[in-house]
Amino acid sequence: MAIRIEEAFNDCFERLTFGESLDSCLRSYPEHAAELDIMLRTVYDVKRRAYPIQPRPEFKYWARVRLQGVQDYMSRHVAPEKVSPFNFRRNLAISVAALVVLVIASSGTAAASNDALPDQPLYGVKMVVEQAQLSLATSDIDKAQIYAQLADKRAHEIEALARQGKADYLVSTSAKMDYQLEQAENYISKFQAANTVSPAATMEATTVETSTDETTDQPTRTAPATDKPEVPPAGTSTTDTSDRPVWTTPAPATTLVKPPYTDNKSRNEKPTVKQPLPATRATANVIKAKTALNTSTAKSLATLQDALDKAPESAKPAIIKAIERVKKANEWSQQNFNSDQDNKPEIIIPRPKYIPPTTNRLNSPTTNTVKPTVILPNTQKLVPSTSVISGTSEQ
Amino acid sequence: MLIEEQLVQRAVNGDRDAFTQIYDLHFNKIYRYIYVKVHSQAEAEDLAQDVFIKAYEGIKNYKWRDLPFTAWLFRIAHNRVIDHIRKVSKEKKASLDEAGGISSGDPVHMTELNMEIYQLKDALQHLPDAQREVATMRFISELSISEVSLALGKSEGTVKALQFNAIASLRKLLYGKINGY
C-alpha cells in the first residue's frame, strides 16, 4: 500500500531534523521524491528565515526577573479558595472543627486553656479552639466579629504578660493581635464591598430624606406652600407619633417620590425608586460587626494602657506599638460606625418614608418646637409647616 | 518519567526554581510563535511574558496526564494571542518597519534578514487559520507532531495533512512573489 505524501513528508522532515540527509530520505520515497524535494527545501527555507527570530537577551532576562517578582507576590498573597457551601471538604472540615470544639469543651480543657498565656502548655489548645471557632464562622461578618474578640484576648494576654514581666512573648502576641485586627477590618470591608454597603450606599437606601445643595453642602429646604407635592396613592398615608411626619406606601416601595424642594434642580429630579430591604440587612450586619470591633478595641485600649503602667521598661515599646495599632482599629471602626449610625436602621426600614427637614438638617432653632403638618392622603397634599420652610422658601 | 515531566511536577508542587527552568526552556519557542502572529517585537515580548505569568498562575491545577506541558503552554499562548489580536488589530497589516527588531552588525545584512522575516510573516498571514497554526508551531516553534496535535486538539493525521498543505501554500506565496508569478 502506497504511503500518502503527507506521511512521507512528515517522516522525511523528522529524519532531516535528526540529521539525516535529504537524498537519503528521498530514496525512501521514490514515488514522491520530486515533490518531497521541493517541499522539504521550502521547509528548510522557512526555518532559515525564522531562525533569527529570537527574543532580545536583555528582555528575556528582565522578563525572568519580573516573573520571579510575580512568584514572590503570589506566594505572599495566596487568594482564598472559593468554596461552594455544598463543598464536601469544607463541610467535612466544619464537622471536624465542631467535633474538636465539642470534645475539647466537654473535657474542660478549653475552659482551662482560656486564660493560658503563650508560655504555657495549654496555649496550644487555646489556639486550636480559636481556629475551630473561625472555621465554624460561615459569613464574613461572623469572622470579623470573632477576629475582633480574638484581638481583645491578645490584648489581655499582653497585659498579663506585662504584669508577670514576661516580655519575651510580647512581640509575637502583639503581632498576632495586629493580624487579627487586620482580619476583622478586612472582613468588614470585604462584606461592605460585596454588598455595596457604604455610607453613600446607605444614604441611597434611605431614599428621600434629604437633598444636598452642592454649592453649600447643606441640605436644601422645603417647598413653598404653593408648590404642591406629589403624594402616594390615596389610602396609604399614616403619621407616626414622633416629630417626624411619615407617610408610607404599602410594599413594594415603588411609588416613592421626592418631596417638593424649592430649588429647580431638586424639583426636576425624577422620583427615586429604591428597594431598601437588602441594604437594610447588609447595613445592620456591618453595624453589628463594627460595633463588635469598636467595643473590643475600646476594651483592649483600656487593658493595654493598664499593661503599659505595669510593664517593665523593656516591654514598653511593644505595648506602645500595640496601643497604636488598637487605636487605629478603634478609630477605623468609630469613624465608619458613626457614618453608618447616621443613616441607619430606623430610617432604613423596608417601607419608604418622607421625612421633612428637621433641626439638624436646617440648622434652624425654630424647628425644634414646631411639629410639621402632614395633610393626609384624602387631601392628596403634604404641606410642611411654615416654620419649617421659613428657612429657605420664604427667602 | 521524563526530565521535563519531573521538572513540571516540581513546578506544580510549588518549586519556583523549577518553573524558572521551564521558562528558560520554553521562552524562545513561545516568543517565536507569538512574533510571527503579531505586529511588533514589543507586542511579542509583552505577550510572551504574559503567557508565562498566566502559566505560573495556573500551574497549580495543571496535570500532565491531561495534556503534555508544551501543548498546555502553547494553548495559553494561542489564547493570549487571539485575545490580543481581537483587542488591537482590526486587521492591521504587518509593516516592514514593525517586522524589524532583528539586529546585526551589518546594516545590509540586517535589512535582508528583516525583509525575509517580513515576507515569511506576510505569507503566514495569507494561510488559512488551521494551516497557519500548524506551520507556526511545527516549523517555527519546532514542536513535535503529537505536541501540535494536543495543543490544537486535532488528530495527528489532520496535523500532518495541514502541515503539508501549509508548506505547499507557503511555497507558492514565498517564491511566487519573489519570482513574480
Contacts of B49 in chain A (CB under 8 A): 63, 66-67
Mark whether B2 and B74 lie in a shared domain: yes
Cα-to-chain-centroid distance, residue A10: 58
As to burial, measured by CB atoms within 10 angstroms (0-12 exposed, 13-18 middle, 19+ buried), residue A334 is middle
Contacts of B58 in chain A (CB under 8 A): none
Mark whether B2 and B87 lie in a shared domain: yes
Mark whether B171 and B107 lie in a shared domain: yes
C-alpha cell at B27: 521562552
- Cα-trace Rg, chain B: 17
Residue A208, pLDDT > 90, answer no
Q: Rounded distance, CA B158 to CA A36, Å?
A: 18
Residue A248, pLDDT > 70, answer no
- Record: contact A67-B140, CB cut-off 8 A: no
User: Residue A1's pLDDT band (boundaries 50, 70, 90)?
Assistant: low
User: Residue A65's pLDDT band (boundaries 50, 70, 90)?
Assistant: confident
Cross-strand bridge partners of residue A222: A261
- Record: contact A67-B57, CB cut-off 8 A: no
Mark whether B111 and B146 lie in a shared domain: yes
Residue A240, pLDDT > 60, answer no
On whether residue B77 sits in a domain, the answer given is yes
Neighbours of B20 (CB within 10 A): 17
Mark whether B109 and B165 lie in a shared domain: yes
On whether residue B79 sits in a domain, the answer given is yes
- pTM exceeding 0.90: no
Q: What was the ipTM of the complex prediction?
A: 0.84
Q: How many residues does chain B have?
A: 181
For chain B, the residues whose C-beta falls within 8 A of a C-beta of chain A are: 16, 19-20, 23-24, 27-28, 31-32, 35-36, 41, 44-45, 48-49, 52-53, 56-57, 101-102, 113, 116-117, 119-120, 135, 139-140, 145, 157, 160-161, 163-164, 167-168, 170-171, 174-175
Q: Rounded distance, CA A48 to CA A9, Å?
A: 18
Exposure of A82 in the CB half-sphere (CA atoms within 13 A): 0
Residue A252, preceding peptide bond in cis (omega within 30° of 0): yes
Report the CATH number at residue B109: 1.10.10.10
Residue B113, pLDDT > 80, answer yes
Q: Rounded distance, CA B3 to CA B137, Å?
A: 22
Q: Rounded distance, CA B159 to CA B156, Å?
A: 5
On whether residue B98 sits in a domain, the answer given is no
User: H or E element: which one contains B147?
Assistant: helix B145-152
A122-207+276-352 adopts what CATH topology? Methane Monooxygenase Hydroxylase; Chain G, domain 1 (1.20.58)
As to burial, measured by CB atoms within 10 angstroms (0-12 exposed, 13-18 middle, 19+ buried), residue A382 is buried
| Mean pLDDT, chain A, whole residue set | 66
- Record: contact B116-A49, CB cut-off 8 A: yes
Region A252-269 average pLDDT: 41
Mark whether B33 and B111 lie in a shared domain: no
- Record: contact A71-B113, CB cut-off 8 A: no
- Record: contact A71-B161, CB cut-off 8 A: no
Nearest CA in chain B to A14: B144
Q: How many angstroms separate the first and last alpha carbons of chain A?
A: 105
Give the residue among A11, A182, A158 at the shortest CA–CA distance from B145. Answer: A11
| Residue B72 φ/ψ, nearest 5 degrees | -65, -45
Classify the C-alpha dihedral B155-B157-B163-B165 as positive or negative.
negative
The whole-number pLDDT of residue A97 equals 62
Mark whether B41 and B12 lie in a shared domain: yes
Mark whether B66 and B116 lie in a shared domain: no
pLDDT tens by residue, B34-91: 999 887 888 899 999 999 999 998 998 888 877 889 999 999 999 999 988 887 755 4
The whole-number pLDDT of residue A96 equals 63
Region A93-99 average pLDDT: 62
Classify the C-alpha dihedral B63-B64-B65-B66 as positive or negative.
positive
Lowest mean pLDDT among A45-54, A125-134, A319-328, B113-122: A125-134
Contact, A270 vs A230, CB < 8 A? no
Domain that holds residue B134: 103-181
Nearest CA in chain B to A57: B28
The full DSSP string for A231-254 is: -PPTT-----SSSS-----PSS--
Of B93, B111, B128, which one is at a domain's C-terminal end?
B93
**Is A78 touching B (CB cutoff 8 A)?**
no
Site from A5, A32, A44, A49 to mutate, B interface, most B CB atoms within 10 angstroms: A49
Q: How many residues does chain A have?
A: 395
Q: Which residues of A73-82 are buried (b: 16+ CB within 10 A; e: fewer)?
A: eeeeeeeeee
Exposure of A190 in the CB half-sphere (CA atoms within 13 A): 13
Contact, A271 vs A257, CB < 8 A? yes
Nearest to B35 among A13, A53, A75 (CB): A53
Mark whether B21 and B3 lie in a shared domain: yes
Give the single-character DSSP code of A218.
E
- Cα-trace Rg, chain A: 36
Q: Which residues of A189-218 are buried (b: 16+ CB within 10 A; e: fewer)?
A: bebbeebebbbeebbebbbbbbbebeeeee
Mark whether B6 and B80 lie in a shared domain: yes
Mark whether B46 and B109 lie in a shared domain: no
Contact, A343 vs A206, CB < 8 A? yes
Report the CATH number at residue B75: 1.10.1740.10
The full set of domain ranges for chain A reads 122-207+276-352, 223-273+356-395
Q: How many domains does chain B have?
A: 2
Give the residue among A134, A173, A111 at the shortest CA–CA distance from A325. Answer: A173
Neighbours of A153 (CB within 10 A): 19
Residue A229, pLDDT > 60, answer no
Mark whether B78 and B128 lie in a shared domain: no
Per DSSP, the three-state class of B95 is coil
pLDDT tens by residue, B144-158: 999 999 999 999 999
